[in-house]
Structure 1
């Protein structure tokens, strides 16, 4: 396997690790938001390697990075709202009946 193959394997392993943390560590909202950001950055890393390897322009990468930043800002706003209403970000303290 060449060194170029390792450049593609590392971001894919990062995505898999981020998905594993997202699925297994669901006690706090902050943990899930951080794992989502890690997944988005790993996908950005993989796409940037792939598009530069093909010789394409990187305008789509800027669009993707902008959407990832907006997703992070919305997640932080949701986290602040949840902490203000419920007092913490622990999922076990949430109730379906309470809004």
Structure 2
């Protein structure tokens, strides 16, 4: 809803719904990947610190878990983007640009 004017202006100058949807989903996918990567790195360091301090052992990295984590973070982000994308596509440019 914060970007209503921007979306209304884009639609007023001829942007198709497909381009607006791809912009939202593209941003969501990038943020999901960044969040997943950051979560994997921080999770590894926290797990290593706790494992070493409690058990005196190190933690090994399982590549399949990292891949699954990244895929799930992107899927969750895309699902979270569905409602805002639907609202963005329904915006009427004339109403937004008039200030309603």
- Normalised by the size of structure 1, how large is the TM-score? 0.37
If asked which structure has higher relative contact order (CA below 8 Å, sep 6+), I would say 2
Q: Which has the larger radius of gyration?
A: 2
